[in-house]
Structure 1
Amino acid sequence: MSAAQEQASSEAPAQWHRVLTVLADISLFVNTRAVWTQAASHRVAVAAVISVCYASILACGVLALTVRSRRSLVRLDLLILLTAVTLTLCAWTLLHQGSDEARLTTQAAKELAAGHPVYGRPWPWLFDRTVALTPTVTGTYDLTYGYPPLAPLLTAPLLGLGHGAAPATAVSTGALIVGAVLLWRMLPPPWRPAATMVCLGFGILPQYARLGYPAILGLALLVPVVVAWPRIGRGGRLGVSGVARAGCLGAACAAQQLPWFLVPFLLAGLYAVRRGELGARPAALLLLRLTGVAATVWLLINTYFVVSEPRAWLDGIALPLTQGAVLHGQGLVDVSLYLTNGSDRLDWYSHASLLLAAGLFALFVLFVRRLGPAATVLPWCAFFLATRSQDGYYLMMTPLWLASAVTAPAAEFAGAWQPRLGTHRTRIALAALALTPALLAATLAATGEPPLRMAVTGLHRSRPVAASRLAVTVTNTSGTGLTPHFMLTAGQGMSRYWRIVRGPKTLPAHTSASYELGPPAESYGGRYVIPRGGAHLRLRAFTAEPQTLSTVYVRLPSA
């Protein structure tokens, strides 16, 4: 170390660095007590380790406010990271049952290891009462694997690790830890506490990892891509680092579909930056080389499935975009789910989401010097208008926001190429033009009317707290025949579909009919437990062609 570096490391750290270190330390308290409580009852050794982590958190809090040199504070940041990793592993040791995605990934790995097809095969036995199902507007459930194959490929060697979904959750948890360490290492030292806080603090992303979400694997692979991404190919050469980043980009796209939405923004932004530096042709050639490496890695990971089951593989990796899942999330769909009685134009939510994605991409290209730093945030905005607008789509990629904020500031885009747009008024007009189609489509979706008018006329109970039959009168007010699929929901989210015991499968236009509904089939519960006497519930009816939702509030009579 040179004398100048030695002097710099011995200087007092910046106060904002201390603040970040303290915040990272505090973030480790969140949800830790809940894990310790479970461990204390049946895994005492794990509880003891968590208690040591508590001591580490307290000690780090004192040291963060008292150390006198930058070097000491950086070392303290490393200790906080190690404490966070330990807590993440302790939580996984206790809570590795996973979610429906983890079970599907583990089953896909088992089928792969046995030489069986992975895609297009329903596995209904994975979904008991404790595992969430994804209902579709066709009245069925998504019971197949619908993600690219990297997660099952990595899970297959770990199948002996434990029962249930433990292998898949081990992969996602391990990926999150690796991604956190990579982000911590690649950020400038004063910003490293933020990496610990965003990736492993607050218990948010570790929980998604323990649920076995393949998107966490995609996130970890995107970390080295996004850190300082405007510098990729600087001087016209990819180099070893650029090739490695391109490979990680291809692997991320082979892990889950969310990275697909980020790729156009990164490539367009990189082209604009390099074109401003090198000119149009060298920038295009550089982008072609990077894309070629990424595509090659993606294809290598998918090759076995492309050859062995091409049609099923293609349908499988496109499934989240084509499955027709029912509305769910915290976005604009809540208007139709909770604020009104439904809509006869649900398809327009999907149209609005695609139009917003296209509009935001157009704005990004037109105003890359201003919007360049937001390349890792803009792609997820489109999900706010989608039929599936779960906050996980935003939360799971937030470490990329941090990476871009620290390593891709506005100065990196000052010389980027962007189209000449003329006057300020012209720019405003183009921006409005890019976003108007999405706004119109969203308005159409949210202002639709429910096509079915429903009234609950009777409830039969098998027991005082369990419903066995529900009598409903339904009127089709639309101009086309509809095939309704009914479910009874309480609070947020969806439930299992009820069976039509008596009543027409398809209700013709402008007609009424009486339906007798039975609780979900035995394999999906077999009975419906009434939440409480006189509870307010929602009876929902979904149709697939066209996609519609009709809802009526129900007050069930007391027993």
Structure 2
Amino acid sequence: MAERRLTEKQSHIPTTSPVPMDNLRNTIAWTLCGVVLILWGLRLWGYGTITTLTTIPSVLLIAWGLAILTWHGGTNTRPQSTRVILVITLLLTLVGLFVWSYAQVITAPAYGTDEMAFDQFAAHLWLHGINPYGRSLAAAFSRYQVSPNGYTWTLSGHPVTLLSYPAQSFLIYVPFILLGWHTQVAVGLNVISWAAALIILFWAVPDSSKPLAIVLASLSVYISYAVGGVTDALFVPFLVLAARKWDQYPFLRGWASLWNPIWFGMAMGIKQTPWIILPFILIGIAFESHRRLGTWRAGIWPVFRYVLITGTVFLIPNVPFIVLNPSTWIKGILTPLIAPTVPEGQGLITLSLFLHIGGGSLFAYTILSAIVLLGLLLIYFLTYPRLKAWTLLIPSLALFVATRSFGSYLVMLVPAAMMSLATTETYSSGKLPTSVKIVLSGIGFVILTSVLAALVIPSPMKLNLIGLHTTGQLATVDQVDLAVTNRTNRLLHPHFTADMSGTLTAFWNQISGPAALQPHQTADYVLAAPNFYSQPALTGGFQMVAFTAHTKTISHTNSYVPSTWHVALIPDAINHPVPYGQSITITAEILNRMDQPVHVNNIPIYLGQIIYAQRGLQYGQAIINDGYPGETPVTATTNSRGEATFTIRDVHPETDPVYFEANLVNNHDYYPYGYSQILPIRFSQ
């Protein structure tokens, strides 16, 4: 009977079934989308005191994100309701993008890169009847407040000042300038272009992928590039359109057969990045024609037609400049490919920039990128259609090994790849023949060998940082002393700069040291920072870098962190007035970079005082320890716990607070470092 009752009870327990995989994917996509909307709201929240424009969108985005997390793309929702929710989500995302971008501009209106400044300036020159190709655009630096750290530098230490892109890169600005839009045109068009890419992607992909399109377009890397000055956003919407059903191109007729190559030609006319995608598209078109029509000859005409239309669309905006001066136009559009610019980026070159692996031949990286591109084309050709879904993303691998491999080169092709993945036909193919596998192994071996060759050539110079000079309380390095050894049998002409967290500064001025370094010669160099932007902060690490323009090499010092200790004042704030004549005790404690106490004794700590008055700096008149009124700085040594004690009092009331700050001093170069927080004290009656 007990077993029967147990069985009867069990029969009333509700049963569950596994969640279908499609529903699970849908739930995950909507969950990510909800989180992204909340993040948009949080991005806007902090700007409420700068512009109230952000407050309402912030609340709406967070509320809608929470609602989506609760709803999580419920499977019982009617398709019409789901589409309404999708459209509302898209519109709110666009509101977040535009409002956040506006907040960024009013916070930091200066243009972040030279490319954005050059494009807008070139548009202004063209409207005044001046051919921008071959003309110095250096005036754009000051006109758009571009920091020297945003310049593109050559290996000899000179900034690139010539237009380096096809004509559509700046002609796209012309209609908007003619309509009277002059301020922040470049940033505005970047953001509008990125919004257009999102709308196109959202419209074209299946409903199940639309939340992921919103997630992709909302990633910080993309929106930061759009506002920060990376003009790749301008070609993304055209490339996304060109990627839509590109494999159907051979079978389209009439106007429908024109759009894919037209969009691709427009993308190629803005920047060089899409250029390397074209061979992959053409190979794919040829294979698709062969698969359906049965002969390779049938694929020749679609390929020829695609090239003809794309080339025509690319050339039409450039015709006036080709006619005016073909040599300056060719030199301009090929500058990113042939100019001896400094290596930068987040690709393979990072190993030479930070780990000091290789660096003896930057030309080897150029050869490597060409080999990788050719190898990828062969792999794509031999294995088609296995890599078809990633046709528009594969070229990023070639950019990854180039000397200039910025993150924008590596991620800006992803939206187009997503469009291709969502709209092209996938099908399986048979096993690869043994002969093809052997060829693929050979290609892989050649690529690997080329990578090793680029990484094993050692840098030609050994650089040692033997001294530095700082700006004191400004806490930056403005001069360094280097010992440089030429380890080769060649005459080298070094040009020096600083690398601060991956950003190469303007090249430093050579105060002393030979212009040419003889084979195996060691010489001392004194270098001075050319401007404030080039001065590394004492609180961060940096390395000095030497380039040679003729031999195209890179050498560096080891990374140097001037300050690993710093001082903290306890208490960190005094929130009430202190009657004059009354003493107050402050403890200065030495901490490491993780804010852990450093137990060292007999270390001098220096406490200074100053008044930051409305009309300028004034000397404080407080008495620190046993000093005289106004004495600054006053020194106290630490005890075994790494703490020094200061007693402060003032003999008369002050109309302004007295600001106190403590620091350490380097025992070798005698520069101050490790500054504490600033502690204001108001002495009253």
Shared fold (TM-score, shorter chain, > 0.5): yes
Match of 2:243 in 1: 226
Please say which structure displays the higher CA radius of gyration: 2
In structure 2, how many angstroms separate the alpha carbons of the residues matched to 1:401 and 1:300?
Answer: 27
The alpha-carbon distance between structure 1 residues 475 and 129, as it changes in their structure 2 partners (threshold 3 A), is same
Residue 409 (structure 1) shift: 4.5
Question: Pick from 434, 448, 451: which aligns with 1:442?
Answer: 451
Q: Which whole-Å deviations, capped at 9, do the CAs of 1:367-394 have from their partners, x for residues lacking one? A: 1121222212211111221111222212
In structure 2, how many angstroms separate the alpha carbons of the residues matched to 1:168 and 1:431?
Answer: 44
The alpha-carbon distance between structure 1 residues 463 and 433, as it changes in their structure 2 partners (threshold 3 A), is same
Question: Pick from 80, 87, 112: which aligns with 1:99?
Answer: 112
Residue type of the alignment partner of 1:218: F
Q: Bigger CA drift: 364-373 or 148-157?
A: 148-157
In structure 1, how many angstroms separate the alpha carbons of the residues matched to 2:101 and 2:310?
Answer: 32
Q: How many residues align?
A: 530
Residue type of the alignment partner of 1:300: I
CA contact (8 A) 1:24 1:197 kept: yes
Question: Pick from 498, 509, 517: which aligns with 2:527?
Answer: 517
The alpha-carbon distance between structure 1 residues 397 and 209, as it changes in their structure 2 partners (threshold 3 A), is same
Residue 220 (structure 1) shift: 0.6
Question: Pick from 503, 513, 516: which aligns with 1:493?
Answer: 503
Q: Which whole-Å deviations, capped at 9, do the CAs of 1:146-185 have from their partners, x for residues lacking one? A: 1222131121232376665x10122121122222111211
Residue 470 (structure 1) shift: 2.8
Q: Bigger CA drift: 63-72 or 401-410?
A: 63-72
In structure 2, how many angstroms separate the alpha carbons of the residues matched to 1:511 and 1:280?
Answer: 62
CA contact (8 A) 1:31 1:202 kept: no
Match of 2:490 in 1: 480
CA contact (8 A) 2:262 2:309 kept: yes
SS at match of 1:515: strand
The alpha-carbon distance between structure 1 residues 129 and 287, as it changes in their structure 2 partners (threshold 3 A), is closer
Q: Does 1:187 align with 2:205?
A: yes
In structure 2, how many angstroms separate the alpha carbons of the residues matched to 1:529 and 1:280?
Answer: 61
In structure 2, how many angstroms separate the alpha carbons of the residues matched to 1:26 and 1:114?
Answer: 48
In structure 2, how many angstroms separate the alpha carbons of the residues matched to 1:495 and 1:148?
Answer: 27
Match of 2:129 in 1: 115
CA contact (8 A) 1:352 1:437 kept: no
CA contact (8 A) 2:26 2:73 kept: no
Q: Which has the larger helix fraction?
A: 1
Match of 2:605 in 1: none
Q: Bigger CA drift: 95-104 or 478-487?
A: 95-104
Q: Does 1:372 align with 2:388?
A: yes
Match of 1:9 in 2: none
User: So what's the TM-score if we normalise by structure 2?
Assistant: 0.73
In structure 2, how many angstroms separate the alpha carbons of the residues matched to 1:49 and 1:205?
Answer: 20
CA contact (8 A) 2:509 2:527 kept: yes
Q: Which whole-Å deviations, capped at 9, do the CAs of 1:332-371 have from their partners, x for residues lacking one? A: 2122111126521221111111100110001101111212
The alpha-carbon distance between structure 1 residues 70 and 335, as it changes in their structure 2 partners (threshold 3 A), is same
Q: Does 1:276 align with 2:281?
A: no
Q: Which has the larger strand fraction?
A: 2
CA contact (8 A) 2:27 2:73 kept: yes
User: So what's the TM-score if we normalise by structure 1?
Assistant: 0.88
1:48-197 correspondence runs (5 A): 48-66=56-74, 68-96=77-105, 97=109, 98-100=111-113, 101-127=115-141, 128-129=146-147, 132-159=150-177, 166-197=184-215
CA contact (8 A) 2:470 2:478 kept: yes
Residue 484 (structure 1) shift: 0.4
Q: Bigger CA drift: 356-365 or 481-490?
A: 481-490
Residue type of the alignment partner of 1:37: G
In structure 1, how many angstroms separate the alpha carbons of the residues matched to 2:534 and 2:397?
Answer: 37
CA contact (8 A) 1:139 1:497 kept: yes
SS at match of 1:410: coil
Residue 56 (structure 1) shift: 2.9
1:12-23 correspondence runs (5 A): 14-23=23-32
Backbone CA RMSD of aligned residues: 2.5
SS at match of 1:501: strand
SS at match of 2:542: strand
SS at match of 1:369: coil
Q: Bigger CA drift: 536-545 or 151-160?
A: 151-160
In structure 1, how many angstroms separate the alpha carbons of the residues matched to 2:414 and 2:397?
Answer: 12
The alpha-carbon distance between structure 1 residues 309 and 51, as it changes in their structure 2 partners (threshold 3 A), is farther
CA contact (8 A) 1:169 1:209 kept: yes
Q: Bigger CA drift: 85-94 or 402-411?
A: 402-411
Residue 259 (structure 1) shift: 0.7
In structure 1, how many angstroms separate the alpha carbons of the residues matched to 2:95 and 2:458?
Answer: 52
Question: Pick from 302, 317, 331: which aligns with 1:286?
Answer: 302
CA contact (8 A) 1:30 1:202 kept: no
Q: Bigger CA drift: 130-139 or 222-231?
A: 130-139
Question: Pick from 547, 551, 561: which aligns with 1:542?
Answer: 547
Match of 2:258 in 1: 243
Q: Which whole-Å deviations, capped at 9, do the CAs of 1:188-229 have from their partners, x for residues lacking one? A: 222222222222x23332222223433212111011211222
Question: Pick from 528, 538, 563: which aligns with 1:532?
Answer: 538
In structure 2, how many angstroms separate the alpha carbons of the residues matched to 1:88 and 1:462?
Answer: 40
Identity of aligned residues (%): 23
Q: Does 1:262 align with 2:272?
A: no
Question: Which consecutive residues of structure 2, in runs of 5 or more, have no partner in the other structure?
Answer: 1-21, 563-668, 672-685
Residue 57 (structure 1) shift: 2.7
The alpha-carbon distance between structure 1 residues 331 and 170, as it changes in their structure 2 partners (threshold 3 A), is same
In structure 2, how many angstroms separate the alpha carbons of the residues matched to 1:454 and 1:93?
Answer: 44
CA contact (8 A) 1:341 1:552 kept: no
